[in-house]
A and B are shown apart, each in its own frame.
Chain A
C-alpha cells in the first residue's frame, strides 16, 4: 500500500509526499492519484518527495516518470527529492529530460497510397527477379549434377517420394472419390431432364481425367509438400543449416531442391492416376444409385468415350504442376530471413503462390490443348 499526502509549502509551491510501496500492483492507483492532485492544484511548482518509499520497482519508477511528463504537459515545474538509491539511475535529473519514449507504442506511420503502390511494384519486380534467378540456379544445379552424376550428393529420394507421394494417398483417395461423386450428382440433375442418363459417364470420366484429377491432386500436393518444403527449408535457413551446407561446399539447391523437384514430379502423376480411378468409381456409385445405370453399362460407356490421350494430357499437366509446386515451395523457403514469423509467412505464401501459378498454368494448357490437340500424346 501507499499513501499520498500533499500540502502547499509556499505561495506557489506544492509538496507531494509518497510513502509506502510503489509497486506494479499499486501503479494504476498511484498514477491516478498523482494525476488527480496535479489537476486539482493550480500551483506552479510541484515537489515530489519520495523519501518515505519502502519499495520502488520498475512500474513505480515509470509512474513517477509519467508524473513528470504530466507536469510538463500541464505547465508545472516538477522536482523530485529524496529519490531512493535504487531508483536514482532512472529518476535523477529526469525532470529536465525530453521524452524520447513519447509515441513509441503508436506503430509506424503507414505510407501514403502512392508510396505503397511504388513499394508493391518494386516488391513484385524484385520477387520476379529472385524467382527467375532461383529457377536459373535450379537448372544450373541439375546440369552440374548431371555432369558429375557419379558423385551427386542429395537427400534420400526414396524418403522424399514416400513423404510427397505415398503419404498423400489416403487423402487423394477420399477427395478424388468425393469429387467424382459430386460431379455425377450435379450431372444427374441436368441429364435426367433429357433422359440422357448414360452421358454421366462421359462427363465424369473426361472432366476428371482432363481437369479435376490433375488440379485436385496438385492442390493437395501444394498444401502438403509445397507448404512443407517452404517451412522446412525456411527453418533450416533460420538455424544456419543452409550456411552449414554451403561451407561444406554443398550446393543447397542441388542438395535440397533438385531431389524434391524429382520426388514431386514423380509423385504428382501417380497420385493423379489414383485420383482419376477413384473419381470414376465415385461417379459409378452415384450413377448406379441415383440414375439406375449398372456399373457394366457405366464402364462400357467410359471405355467408349475416354481416350488414352485425355488421360495422358492430364498426366502431362500434373508433371508440370508437380515441378512448379516443388520449385515454389523451396523458393519461398529460401526467401526466409530472420525468425519464426518469417517461416510462417513463407508457408502461407508458398500455398498462395502455388494456387495462383497452378491456375495460370492450367489456363495455358487449356489454350494449348485447344490449338494443338496432339500435345501430351506420346
Chain B
C-alpha cells in the first residue's frame, strides 16, 4: 500500500519525558516493526499515556528522539510534521470526540483536513467506517447522546478514517463490556492483517494482549523505564523477574 516501506517503523531512542520538571519515564528505547501489533503495558500511573503522548508529538520530550522511518518527530506545537500526522490515527483514552459536531462530522474531519475528496465519497467513507464499528444508526447523533462505549467506538472510527499506517490506541477497551471488547480485539486484528497497519496498543487487558499482540514492553512506575520486553508467550514464561511474574500471573488468576 505504501510507497515508502520504512515509514511505518517507529523507533524511540533514549526517550525521557515528564511534566513540569517531574520525570515520569526515563531513557526508553524500542523499535516497532512495520505491520506488527505492539503493546505497551504496565500498572496504572506508570506513564503509558505519557509515553504515547510523547510519541505522537503532543508532549515535548525532555531528551531523546522519536523516528517514523527516517523522519524525526518534533513536538506538534513547535513544528507539526504533516507527513507523519497524515499517516497516524489516534484513539485517546477519553475518546476525545468533538462535542460540537455529529458523529459523522467527527469522522469526516480527518478526511476534510488531509484530502480533497468530493463530499459524496467522504460520505461513503464515513458510512463504511461507522459500519465497521457497528454505529450506522448513530451518524447524526451528537457525542453526548451516545453511551461511553459507543463514544469509544465512534472515536475508533475517526482514528481509522484515513486508513492510517499506524494506529495508536490508548486503552481502547476500557469501559466496554467483555463481548464488545473482544469484538474490538477482532477489529484491531483484522485491520492489522488486512491492511498491514502497525498498531500501538496501550492496555491493561492481559487476555486481549496475549491473543493480539506480537510484542510487548512492560513499564514499571518505580524504575520509570522498561523492565521487560518480548513476545507475549516469552513474558508469560518469565520466572526470573518477580515484577514481571506478578504482573502477568496476577492478572490471570
Indicate with 1 or 0, residue by residue over A212-248, a CB within 8 angstroms of chain B CB atoms: 0000000000000000000000011001110111111
- State A235–B98 Cα separation when bound (angstroms): 11
**A251's contact among B80, B92, B99, by CB below 8 Å, is which?**
B80
Q: Does the CB pair B58–A246 fall under 8 Å?
A: yes
Write out the residue numbers on chain A whose beta carbons fall within 8 Å of the beta carbon of B94.
239-240
Q: Does the CB pair B77–A246 fall under 8 Å?
A: yes
Give the A-B contact count at a CB cut-off of 8 A.
55
**Chain B's nearest CB lies how many Å from the CB of A48?**
35
Q: Does A249 contact B (CB under 8 A)?
A: yes
Q: Does the CB pair A248–B85 fall under 8 Å?
A: yes
Binding stretch for chain A, among B1-9, B25-33, B110-118, B126-134? B110-118
Q: Does the CB pair B96–A241 fall under 8 Å?
A: yes
Q: Does the CB pair A243–B114 fall under 8 Å?
A: no
Q: Does B179 contact A (CB under 8 A)?
A: no
Q: Does the CB pair A249–B85 fall under 8 Å?
A: yes
Q: Does the CB pair B113–A249 fall under 8 Å?
A: yes
Write out the residue numbers on chain A whose beta carbons fall within 8 Å of the beta carbon of B110.
248
Q: Does B86 contact A (CB under 8 A)?
A: yes
Q: Does B139 contact A (CB under 8 A)?
A: no
Write out the residue numbers on chain B whose beta carbons fall within 8 Å of the beta carbon of A135.
none
- State A225–B56 Cα separation when bound (angstroms): 33
Q: Does A374 contact B (CB under 8 A)?
A: no
**B99's contact among A239, A243, A246, A247, by CB below 8 Å, is which?**
A239
- State A244–B85 Cα separation when bound (angstroms): 11
Write out the residue numbers on chain A whose beta carbons fall within 8 Å of the beta carbon of B97.
241, 244
Q: Which residue of A lies closest to B84 (CB)?
A: A249
Write out the residue numbers on chain B whose beta carbons fall within 8 Å of the beta carbon of A155.
100
Q: Which residue of B lies closest to A249 (CB)?
A: B85
Q: Does the CB pair B76–A247 fall under 8 Å?
A: yes
Write out the residue numbers on chain B whose beta carbons fall within 8 Å of the beta carbon of A245.
98
Q: Which residue of A lies closest to B90 (CB)?
A: A247
Indicate with 1 or 0, residue by residue over B65-96, a CB within 8 angstroms of chain A CB atoms: 00000000000110010100110101011111
- State A235–B143 Cα separation when bound (angstroms): 14
Write out the residue numbers on chain B whose beta carbons fall within 8 Å of the beta carbon of A203.
none
Q: Does the CB pair B96–A239 fall under 8 Å?
A: yes
Instruction: Tell whether A244 pairs with B92 under 8 Å between CB atoms, given A153-B112, A239-B99, A249-B114.
Output: yes
Write out the residue numbers on chain B whose beta carbons fall within 8 Å of the beta carbon of A241.
96-99
- State A11–B94 Cα separation when bound (angstroms): 64
Q: Does A250 contact B (CB under 8 A)?
A: yes
Which residues of A, 181-224, contact B by the 8 Å Cβ criterion?
Answer: none
**Chain A's nearest CB lies how many Å from the CB of B233?**
33
- State A239–B92 Cα separation when bound (angstroms): 10
Q: Does the CB pair A249–B99 fall under 8 Å?
A: no
Write out the residue numbers on chain A whose beta carbons fall within 8 Å of the beta carbon of B96.
239-241, 243-244
| Most chain B beta-carbon neighbours within 10 Å: one of A241, A247, A249 | A247
Q: Does B57 contact A (CB under 8 A)?
A: yes
- State A260–B94 Cα separation when bound (angstroms): 26
**Chain A's nearest CB lies how many Å from the CB of B156?**
13
Q: Which residue of B lies closest to A240 (CB)?
A: B96
**Chain A's nearest CB lies how many Å from the CB of B132?**
19
Write out the residue numbers on chain B whose beta carbons fall within 8 Å of the beta carbon of A247.
56-58, 76, 85, 88, 90
Instruction: Tell whether A244 pairs with B82 under 8 Å between CB atoms, given A153-B112, A249-B113, A249-B114.
Output: no
Q: Does the CB pair A153–B98 fall under 8 Å?
A: no
Q: Does B125 contact A (CB under 8 A)?
A: no
Write out the residue numbers on chain A whose beta carbons fall within 8 Å of the beta carbon of B93.
240
**Chain A's nearest CB lies how many Å from the CB of B25?**
18
Q: Does B109 contact A (CB under 8 A)?
A: yes
Write out the residue numbers on chain A whose beta carbons fall within 8 Å of the beta carbon of B100.
155
- State A246–B75 Cα separation when bound (angstroms): 10
- State A240–B99 Cα separation when bound (angstroms): 11
**Chain B's nearest CB lies how many Å from the CB of A246?**
5
- State A245–B90 Cα separation when bound (angstroms): 11
Write out the residue numbers on chain A whose beta carbons fall within 8 Å of the beta carbon of B58.
243, 246-247
Write out the residue numbers on chain B whose beta carbons fall within 8 Å of the beta carbon of A243.
53, 58, 92, 96
Contact surface of B with A, Cβ cutoff 8 Å:
53, 56-58, 76-77, 80, 82, 85-86, 88, 90, 92-100, 109-110, 112-114
Contact surface of A with B, Cβ cutoff 8 Å:
153, 155, 235-236, 239-241, 243-251
The 4 closest A-B pairs by CB, nearest first: A240-B96, A249-B85, A244-B96, A240-B92
17 contacts between A and B (CB under 8 A): A153-B112, A236-B98, A236-B99, A239-B94, A240-B92, A241-B97, A241-B99, A243-B53, A243-B92, A244-B98, A246-B57, A246-B76, A247-B85, A247-B90, A248-B114, A249-B114, A250-B113
Question: Other than the known A245-B98, A247-B76, what 20 A-B pairs have Cβ atoms closer than 8 Å?
Answer: A153-B112, A236-B98, A239-B95, A239-B96, A239-B99, A241-B99, A243-B53, A243-B58, A244-B90, A244-B92, A246-B57, A246-B76, A247-B57, A247-B58, A247-B85, A247-B88, A248-B109, A248-B110, A249-B76, A249-B86
